[in-house]
Structure 1
């Protein structure tokens, strides 16, 4: 029995050794390719040092009396997710978008739950010398961050425009829903492992060997396959339940204009009442229903509803009428 068992033992050791070498080589190759992406794609990009974090941001727009519009991307993407929206808004109002919570090409962020990310935003605004009230535009999972920021810094918020925001009240209204960690843990761990071993990068390249044509799409593709980005997503997801509790405890300033935008699809219909109740918390709240198409990596396709979103944000920013705005670089 011992003689028969030895070949199998040796085979198992060789197999584990080969797998270990493959994983190590895949990890090293992915690390090298991520460094190459950063070197090639970050030329001309702007970064701010906030504590130990290095945050990528983009300021765009012209000098005006409009409030600064701050756009918070949703989960699993960077500022490329809101590129079309920021470009459209910057024609009339000053705008800021940034890779929050270590997303995209930001580095060393320790902000993962809603309160930590609200503080990260406050620190970034201070570093960029944006001291006047801002219009917060939040999409999906960044909605709770905007709500916590407005609760902590009501004097720094001119208005809020929430695009189909994640709404923690859904758990109270529908207790049969699983907790957020249980819902997403498998997919998050799968993406983290796939990005670390280069699998996501390989599948993207096999899908389109030449890669995207535009610089924005190339950066977006690089973000979605980056291990540091997937790790940041995993940490935010892990802190999501804590973020929900913080959001529920945050009191929205009742006098701040608040527009809650929903799309008339089956998913949003489940939360229609909660969205309406959220808008009603402000004496100047509105529930806006639009039929727009949400994509994985971009908020919505250009068209009439996209134009309606741009007009709605511009209206809030221009209504703020903030004097003595500094010129944007």
Structure 2
């Protein structure tokens, strides 16, 4: 019995030391990784100075319209790499990173739809980004995009959504509510430790695994419920704006069919004949896996907008 107690104590001590060693190693490794990214060359990057932080953005191309690209939760500017150059051949392409993501500085503000919309509008004003605008949103970026168009409809020439989220899709966020809360707690409170970095998938962009990006990815996810409520309270219809929606599905589940019905209802309420909803049996990140499909659909949408008599006189 005494021997068993001794073995148990040794096991407990060994486990404790291993956990401590893992935290020490992870913290040192994360600190070095953060410094490497922070010290990378920023001389060719553009920043917009807001009240207490800077937002990283990019603007390429020329044309009558500016395409404003809004990424999904926790995603930085590189998500658009496979389509931005092609879009720049027909218009101005504005991409940016929300506060705390990529090279943008972070704030302590709650990262809700209202806050993100106000931040984007301030950057556009600060940098004199010329309109009219065609908004392009992917995933939860579609929620932010629709809210922006609701707040500033006079500036918008059209909305292009890539497998967007919607405030009626509560069946996803309710079933994953505990996951989002646990995931958010670990990332927002332990980003310094390096532990979240061990479990995150590898991506080409180095910013993805910095403590700042991990922390703010979590903050965006933790604000999902508040963002959804803001959308519901706003009762957004957007019936007078041209809209093109791409839905994706690889499994054909009941939820996929519900998603499609929601998108069809949005298009069904539209008073613009060029509004359209299409579905593809492709992954959620179709703009990355199949950029040619997204570009084909956008060219079709853009061609119809461009051929209409313009009602926008924004400078």
Deviation at residue 71 of structure 1 after TM alignment: 0.2
- Give the 3-state SS of the residue equivalent to 1:178 in structure 2: helix
CA distance in 1, matches of 2:6, 2:291: 65
* Structure 1 residue corresponding to 2:100, chosen from 93, 99, 102: 102
Cross-structure match for 1:299: 288
* Structure 2 residue corresponding to 1:278, chosen from 247, 266, 277: 266
CA distance in 2, matches of 1:23, 1:296: 33
* Structure 1 residue corresponding to 2:70, chosen from 69, 72, 81: 72
1:74-129: CA deviation from partner (whole Å, max 9, x where unpaired): 12321100111111100111010111242222112435111110101110101111
Cross-structure match for 1:214: none
Note if 1:243 corresponds to 2:227: yes
Q: How does 1:53-92 map to 2 (within 5 A)?
A: 53-62=53-62, 64=63, 66-92=64-90
Deviation at residue 57 of structure 1 after TM alignment: 0.9
CA 1:312 to 1:43, structure 2 compared with 1: closer, same or farther past 3 Å?
farther
Note if 1:135 corresponds to 2:124: no
CA 1:298 to 1:78, structure 2 compared with 1: closer, same or farther past 3 Å?
farther
TM-score, structure 2 normalization = 0.81
Deviation at residue 283 of structure 1 after TM alignment: 1.2
CA 1:322 to 1:230, structure 2 compared with 1: closer, same or farther past 3 Å?
same
Cross-structure match for 1:213: none
Aligned length: 307
CA 1:47 to 1:196, structure 2 compared with 1: closer, same or farther past 3 Å?
same
CA distance in 1, matches of 2:219, 2:240: 33
CA 1:100 to 1:287, structure 2 compared with 1: closer, same or farther past 3 Å?
same
Partners of 1:159 and 1:316 within 8 A in 2:
no
CA distance in 2, matches of 1:233, 1:204: 12
Deviation at residue 46 of structure 1 after TM alignment: 1.8
Q: How does 1:115-126 map to 2 (within 5 A)?
A: 115-126=114-125
Deviation at residue 312 of structure 1 after TM alignment: 3.8
Provide the alpha-carbon RMSD of the alignment. 3.5
- Give the 3-state SS of the residue equivalent to 1:166 in structure 2: coil
CA distance in 2, matches of 1:282, 1:229: 37
- Give the 3-state SS of the residue equivalent to 1:102 in structure 2: coil
1:186-241: CA deviation from partner (whole Å, max 9, x where unpaired): 34445567854335656889x8xxxxxxxxx74x1x12212211111111111100
Deviation at residue 25 of structure 1 after TM alignment: 4.9
CA distance in 1, matches of 2:286, 2:279: 19
Flag structure 1 segments of 5+ consecutive residues without an equivalent: 208-216
CA distance in 2, matches of 1:19, 1:264: 41
- Give the 3-state SS of the residue equivalent to 1:135 in structure 2: strand
1:149-185: CA deviation from partner (whole Å, max 9, x where unpaired): 11111112221111111011123xx5x9726532423
Cross-structure match for 1:47: 47
Higher RCO (C-alpha under 8 Å, 6+ residues apart): 1
CA 1:152 to 1:277, structure 2 compared with 1: closer, same or farther past 3 Å?
same
Flag structure 2 segments of 5+ consecutive residues without an equivalent: none
Deviation at residue 254 of structure 1 after TM alignment: 2.4
* Structure 1 residue corresponding to 2:208, chosen from 224, 231, 242: 224
TM-score, structure 1 normalization = 0.78
Of stretches 190-199 and 41-50 in structure 1, the one that deviates more from structure 2 is 190-199
